[in-house]
Structure 1
């Protein structure tokens, strides 16, 4: 049996063909003008979904890079402060050793006490340093507190009271920032072994301690023959040194030893700072490489192949012309034309 094809079906088939070619031609023209293969979700739903994920990953990398810059600036500022603190302690230790010499008179020592007093003020300022955001560097999680070290009154073994300094910052933890991707998205109290996060601050009770431990107290010999138990920090060692010199007496060797321990402790903290800065640089390099790979993948998904698109444009244009010519022929097909 021969199937019958109506004139209407001829028309619809021809119009559908022309519309299909025209839409494809318009799509290719849009791709060539925008330079993108995907201009709307309907162009390639699968590619659009992948592009959303890629954009999210790229934005996350940008945030990690920014976090790394912030962390590095914090650590470099801390390192600068600790260099100054080391200079203060080294100068104080030099003066201590000088004033232990019998050639210096009580008046010489009292004059030197004035310089030590200035060094104390400088050290207090360094211990209470704030970053450009007005956050304390050495107060742990209490970065917005008034101070990391404040004055306190302590009575010695003979009941005589004097003014010293104690750590008043947070003693429970430290601040961290994430600088890279990780597997568990879990922030442990200690960042050792987790290269995706870095500690951006150190507690002052460790940084400026005499023996490198957090918290605790130290016992100092006073010029009046008594002893005092004070907060474990080098500022109190400087206070004790000043008081010995103000009394005109030779400072005891204990003070020089305690200053040396404080200098050694700060050097160890700076070595840890260097390690953290190196981790930030390593993470930055890894993120840059990953970012380049993601951008290349995004380019392949999103950008149009100009050579191929140009060839498709020409091919589709020719197909549209054939469809138009075919439609013109179909319009001439009728029974009356056949009878003529």
Structure 2
């Protein structure tokens, strides 16, 4: 077969170009450390790598979300810890104020410190997360959840739903608790509570209610005790259930124990017609930490000179102590829940960390370069290129004119 000189030169040039291209490609792979730097290098591996990269990005987004969730929960836990300490101090002050040896001036001093605790707790209830969002307002996190009304009483104005955040593909976690659940609620296990109407004119006082029959179907429901004049110098009582129906009547005598719906309360003192007491489970008595402190402050600021005023003060302080106990138990329960969620974030982070390691290993297997194999291939390509160059030089020197 006759091969022209032009064809011979063209074939050698093409061979040199191929060898140089292959040599350049392996050099670029060694420089970048990547076996697959563009889809044409390995279409199947490049396609799988795209999917793994997307999975990594999603996992990273959830990791960032967990950082935000952890910050919110950690700040909530810190606020709840401070609130619990504040309630402990308030309980100590109420116990001091209950002593008969304190003067009205002393009780005014106690009231002043209680006011400071009250404002401190209000500030904690309106805490923000550092980004201007209120922690305990639910999804209404752009305004303080607690505000004072025209009468100076604190009202909750936040949302009733806990703010949630997606922390993993299959887990949406509450990252905050509403102020109503923290400061205006008690745990379901809270016991019985008795309250006296602030307008009572008599001096009836009561001890902590007792449970006598948990199996009573009406146990824990609110029951209202109303005193009336019996027309003979004494007093009667009548007990109404939550629906307003009369369930029990009788003659009142000082030191008696009233029992109704599996509940009992011991009474002392003399009522006045129209005086009332309310008995029931604490969960049914509209719990409110701020109202408890407001009532205690108000009764301590006013001097108690008459038996009725002293009875009102004693009843308010006793009830306040029970309500503070319930409020603190509730805050500790919420705090425990926050701690459990923080622990869960640690577990999810650990799982996600292992997942990210697996993704990195998979990506490395798909696109990273095997340097041992690449070094051998580099040497082989170098030899091939040198051989092609040598062959071209030798063929270039062959000419018919050399034989003439």
> TM-score over 0.5 for the alignment?
yes
Tell me the equivalent position of 1:267. 332
Question: What is the distance in 2 between the residues matched to 1:251 and 1:80?
Answer: 34
Confirm or deny: 8 A CA contact 1:167 1:231 kept in the other structure: no
- Which of 95, 98, 101 is residue 97 of structure 1 equivalent to? 95
Q: CA deviation at 1:202?
A: 0.6
5+ unaligned residues in a row in structure 2: which ranges? 201-274, 279-283, 304-309
- Which of 174, 198, 207 is residue 199 of structure 1 equivalent to? 174
Tell me the equivalent position of 1:36. 34
Tell me the equivalent position of 1:176. 164
Give the 3 Å change call, closer, same or farther, for CA 320–22 of structure 1 in structure 2: same
Q: How does 1:8-27 map to 2 (within 5 A)?
A: 10-27=8-25
Q: CA deviation at 1:323?
A: 2.9
Confirm or deny: 8 A CA contact 2:194 2:319 kept in the other structure: no
Give CA deviations for 1:277-320 in whole Å, capped at 9, x if unaligned.
00111111111111112112222333222221111111112222
Tell me the equivalent position of 1:276. 341
Question: What is the distance in 2 between the residues matched to 1:165 and 1:331?
Answer: 100
Q: Which has the higher strand share?
A: 2
Question: What is the distance in 2 between the residues matched to 1:242 and 1:224?
Answer: 17
Tell me the equivalent position of 2:357. 292
Confirm or deny: 8 A CA contact 1:130 1:137 kept in the other structure: yes
Tell me the equivalent position of 1:115. 113
Q: How does 1:243-262 map to 2 (within 5 A)?
A: 243-248=298-303, 249=310, 250-252=313-315, 253-262=318-327
Q: CA deviation at 1:181?
A: 2.9
Confirm or deny: 8 A CA contact 1:210 1:259 kept in the other structure: no
Give CA deviations for 1:74-112 in whole Å, capped at 9, x if unaligned.
111111111111111111112222222322233322321
Question: What is the distance in 1 between the residues matched to 2:314 and 2:293?
Answer: 11
Q: CA deviation at 1:55?
A: 2.6
Question: What is the distance in 2 between the residues matched to 1:219 and 1:14?
Answer: 105
Partner SS, residue 179 of structure 1: strand
Q: How does 1:1-340 map to 2 (within 5 A)?
A: 4=1, 6-7=3-4, 10-145=8-143, 147-152=144-149, 163-171=152-160, 173-182=161-170, 196-212=171-187, 221=196, 223-225=198-200, 232-248=287-303, 249=310, 250-252=313-315, 253-328=318-393, 330-331=395-396, 336=400
Question: What is the distance in 2 between the residues matched to 1:92 and 1:197?
Answer: 37
Q: Which has the higher helix share?
A: 1
Confirm or deny: 8 A CA contact 1:96 1:251 kept in the other structure: no
Q: CA deviation at 1:274?
A: 0.6
Confirm or deny: 8 A CA contact 1:68 1:179 kept in the other structure: yes
Confirm or deny: 8 A CA contact 2:162 2:177 kept in the other structure: yes
CA RMSD of aligned residues (A): 2.8
Question: What is the distance in 1 between the residues matched to 2:90 and 2:403?
Answer: 121
Give the 3 Å change call, closer, same or farther, for CA 37–304 of structure 1 in structure 2: same
Give the 3 Å change call, closer, same or farther, for CA 27–57 of structure 1 in structure 2: same
Q: CA deviation at 1:331?
A: 4.8
Give the 3 Å change call, closer, same or farther, for CA 231–144 of structure 1 in structure 2: farther
Give CA deviations for 1:242-299 in whole Å, capped at 9, x if unaligned.
1111223434221111111000000100010011000111111111111112112222
TM-score scaled by structure 1? 0.81
TM-score scaled by structure 2? 0.69
5+ unaligned residues in a row in structure 1: which ranges? 154-161, 183-195
Give the 3 Å change call, closer, same or farther, for CA 130–222 of structure 1 in structure 2: farther
Question: What is the distance in 2 between the residues matched to 1:23 and 1:62?
Answer: 38
Question: What is the distance in 1 between the residues matched to 2:76 and 2:31?
Answer: 52
Larger C-alpha radius of gyration, 1 or 2? 2
Give CA deviations for 1:193-238 in whole Å, capped at 9, x if unaligned.
xxx332111101011124247xxxx995455428899964201110
Give CA deviations for 1:93-132 in whole Å, capped at 9, x if unaligned.
1222222232223332232111111111111111111121
Partner SS, residue 36 of structure 1: coil
